[in-house]
Structure 1
Amino acid sequence: MTTHHLDTKLLHIGSAPFDPETGTAPVNLPSMRTSTVRFENLAALERVFAKRAAGERAISYGRSGMDTHRALEEVFMQLEGGTYCVLAPSGMAAINIAFLGILKTGDHVLVCDGVYGPVRNLDRALLKGLGISVTYFAAQDDLDALITPETKMIYVESPGSLLFEMLDLPAMAAVAKRHGVLLATDNTWGSGYIYRPLALGADISVVAGTKYVAGHSDVMLGAVVAKDESVAARLHSAQYAMGNSISADDAWLALRGVKTMAVRMPQHAINALKVCAFFDAQPYVAKIFNPAWHKDAGYALWQRDCTGANGMLSVELKCSPDAAKAYVDALTLFGIGFSWGGYESLVQWVDPGTLAAHTYWKHSPNALLRFHIGLEDIDDLIDDLKQAANYLPRT
């Protein structure tokens, strides 16, 4: 049997089958929109329910998706190296499935303090009311000492999405397995293409397909991927009970977007490292956060565990957060926005309050700006950064 490279698989997943009568087919599956699934007869209906009873993802109702959705699930399984995937209407919805599929009242979860910010809101708004307790920890903390008999999951994001702190996932996985605890991680940064947590020992990988999988800033999408059948069954049960579903059109857009992932992500990474080199030479820059940058604290872990990088980086400026606002406003090619992973360049002025809980930040009084370096001409982007520097205080 021929084993193809991941790049080849991503191009061919979702290819439309040939019409048996005409012998023709479009290149891609169409967007299959439906609420109702019709059955030819009761025997066909019974076959579907028999497959479902056996654990197969048989199509029975629009909410569970059609062929377009199945193809996208296969994309995420190939990217992440998993055997089961559930789709969600956003990355945050996928995080909800991971938490509520595993945890119940009385359980305890350890969450890395550099995790995606809205997870803390999930804790405040939902988990506390359900009687699920959360302890936040720093990467250097002794996890063995923090695990209690009630601890059921460790949840992390690696690299983190503000400071891009690399975590030692294999070491954390070893601790989790020693205590019979599941390790779940937000892998939106790597999206399975440049970083594969399941291969490093994690049990669950969560991805916001909104970002690099879709790649065009026009889709809201999440996915949860697992390898173990018992874990997969719990995730499926939670997703089905919560009624999560994504539109067929969004699934189709993501399938279209992932076809160019193999060329987009390396180019984002090339551009980002050129911007890092530019910032490294500027007197107004205190620190650069990008695990693929050779001066980053996580560079050794990145070299060991990752196969590439992307367009993300953050920069600590030698000025106050308020003083950095004029710089952000002066940029012309960088849109101001919270997302990333699309073709365009973005900048985010990071609220100091957001950083307060991040041990990795070291409580600096300086401004932090997060950049997504897009696919524009790199000289144009650097020229834009140069002119905006005129609006910074002189150092």
Structure 2
Amino acid sequence: MTGFSTKAIHAGQDPDPATGAVVTPIYATSTYAQDGVGGLRQGLKQGYEYSRSGNPTRTALEECLAALEEGRHGLAFASGLAAEDTLIRALTSPGDHLVVPDDAYGGTYRQVARVHQRWGLEHTPVSLADPDAVAAALRPGSTRLLWIETPTNPLLTVADIAALSALAHDAGALVVVDNTFASPYLQQPLTLGADVVVHSTTKYCGGHSDVVGGALVLNDDALAESLRFHQNAIGGVPGPFDAWLVLRGLKTLAVRMERHSDNAERVAAFLEQHPKVSQVLYPGLPGHPGHEVAARQMRRFGGMVSFRVAAGPQAALDLCARTEVFTLGESLGGVESLIEHPGRMTHASVSGTALQVPDDLVRLSVGIEDVDDLLADLDRALD
């Protein structure tokens, strides 16, 4: 299998050997019969003993995610933050150092700054769009991870994955890329030099705002073994129904991302011409500082658009309250369009830090509705 959509529909999802069911079953079980003491039954892809350690539905999801990211190993988690916490605990020790984006997702920064920092992990926020700043922030011998988001949440900053990976590897650090905004369809960081890919599968992978999940994908066998140990030891794994929902969402990821991108391009172009908008942040716009890098490492530019309202913070809040097709809500990546005020909602946790976002900023998760309805809704709300 070589085509993306073919892998999305078939990778890890052979017909059920017992019944021939085409769709992977939901194995709603906590434990498994053993063929003698310590004898794990081999009728499926691997032996199973307890569903925290492994579950056939979860295995199907992990194999599919690995295939879509051009990786050898996939690990599924109960949330994106559970995946990040497991990764950081597995790869760092007290006294180690991380370099993180200066406009990282608020939940990631909260975890690093308010959870892991208490256990002796240091971090430096830096603009990933500035390779010289990244090089200066790396501490050879102590920087364990360079954490990349591209595009970032919510400022849509673009980082050059290949160039930053080379810098980090020269300094002895591993490269982690949060690929949630792009999805595996639009961007595959492992092929660009990254060591580990992180996803909140809640977003585009699931795609229907009906499940919470996370994932890690990588190629290194020894690192995967360590991560699987920590996945089991820490226990933040998804249940079989959650795994099944994400697996179902992946089947339509390619067609959804094409429509998300089509609609977002139209929305960004509309906002760029609107007199009540002072700035539009979308990598697909030629004037975006990261446009050329995004065009090189992404298939399309995705469904996320942020913009600043010319009249200021209160006007941004009022706008969020006036839309009708765009639903006021957190999260992103579902088939429905969402609008939110990051400073008061998703990124309130970084208020007062180096990662504080502008208070006149509005973030859109552009869905797959008829784009003319989305444009009319924004036009009404802005006017």
TM over 0.5: yes
Paired letter, 2:111: L
Counterpart position of 1:386:
379
| Partners of 1:246 and 1:223 in 2: CA distance | 10
Cα deviation for residue 356 of structure 1 reads: 6.4
User: RMSD over aligned Cα, in angstroms?
Assistant: 2.1
Structure 1, unaligned stretches of length 5 or more? 49-55, 391-395
Which secondary structure state, in structure 2, belongs to the residue aligned with residue 105 of structure 1?
Answer: coil
Instruction: Give runs of aligned pairs for residues 181-200 of structure 1, distance below 5 A.
Output: 181-200=173-192
Paired letter, 2:92: L
Q: 8 Å contact 1:350–1:367 — kept in the other structure?
A: no
Q: 8 Å contact 1:14–1:68 — kept in the other structure?
A: no
Residues 371 and 76 (structure 1 numbering): CA distance in 2 closer, same or farther, change over 3 Å? same
Cα deviation for residue 175 of structure 1 reads: 1.0
Instruction: Give runs of aligned pairs for residues 290-301 of structure 1, distance below 5 A.
Output: 290-301=282-293
Paired letter, 1:11: I
Query: Is residue 203 from structure 1 mapped to residue 198 from structure 2 by the alignment?
Result: no
TM-score normalised over the length of structure 2? 0.92
Q: 8 Å contact 1:65–1:245 — kept in the other structure?
A: no
Counterpart position of 1:115:
104
**CA deviation map 1:251-281 (0-9, x unaligned):** 1111111111111110010001111111122
Instruction: Give runs of aligned pairs for residues 127-146 of structure 1, distance below 5 A.
Output: 127-139=116-128, 140=130, 141-146=132-137
Cα deviation for residue 137 of structure 1 reads: 1.4
TM-score normalised over the length of structure 1? 0.89
Select which of 84, 90, 110 maps to 1:101: 90
Counterpart position of 1:250:
242
Q: 8 Å contact 1:90–1:222 — kept in the other structure?
A: yes
| Partners of 2:309 and 2:353 in 1: CA distance | 19
Select which of 353, 362, 365 maps to 1:372: 365
Q: 8 Å contact 1:113–1:357 — kept in the other structure?
A: no
Residues 134 and 282 (structure 1 numbering): CA distance in 2 closer, same or farther, change over 3 Å? same
Select which of 143, 149, 152 maps to 1:157: 149
Cα deviation for residue 368 of structure 1 reads: 0.7
Paired letter, 1:77: A
Which secondary structure state, in structure 1, belongs to the residue aligned with residue 52 of structure 2?
Answer: helix
Cα deviation for residue 25 of structure 1 reads: 2.4
**CA deviation map 1:30-72 (0-9, x unaligned):** 1001111111323733x87xxxxxxx96422111232211110
- Between Structure 1 and Structure 2, whose CA radius of gyration is higher? 1
After TM superposition, the structure 1 stretch with the greater mean CA deviation from structure 2, 195-204 or 59-68, is 59-68
Residues 226 and 212 (structure 1 numbering): CA distance in 2 closer, same or farther, change over 3 Å? same
Residues 61 and 297 (structure 1 numbering): CA distance in 2 closer, same or farther, change over 3 Å? same
Residues 326 and 202 (structure 1 numbering): CA distance in 2 closer, same or farther, change over 3 Å? same
Q: 8 Å contact 1:108–1:150 — kept in the other structure?
A: yes
**CA deviation map 1:171-212 (0-9, x unaligned):** 111111112211111110122111111111111110011011
| Partners of 2:39 and 2:112 in 1: CA distance | 44
Counterpart position of 1:41:
36
Select which of 146, 159, 164 maps to 1:172: 164
Cα deviation for residue 18 of structure 1 reads: 5.4
Which secondary structure state, in structure 2, belongs to the residue aligned with residue 64 of structure 1?
Answer: coil
Which secondary structure state, in structure 2, belongs to the residue aligned with residue 314 of structure 1?
Answer: strand
| Partners of 1:16 and 1:8 in 2: CA distance | 13
Cα deviation for residue 328 of structure 1 reads: 1.4
Which secondary structure state, in structure 1, belongs to the residue aligned with residue 274 of structure 2?
Answer: coil
Select which of 120, 127, 138 maps to 1:147: 138
Paired letter, 1:383: A
Structure 2, unaligned stretches of length 5 or more? none
Q: How many positions carry a matched residue from both structures?
A: 374
After TM superposition, the structure 1 stretch with the greater mean CA deviation from structure 2, 99-108 or 116-125, is 116-125
Q: 8 Å contact 1:14–1:255 — kept in the other structure?
A: no
Q: 8 Å contact 2:143–2:172 — kept in the other structure?
A: no
Query: Is residue 239 from structure 1 mapped to residue 231 from structure 2 by the alignment?
Result: yes
Cα deviation for residue 358 of structure 1 reads: 6.1
Q: 8 Å contact 1:108–1:152 — kept in the other structure?
A: yes
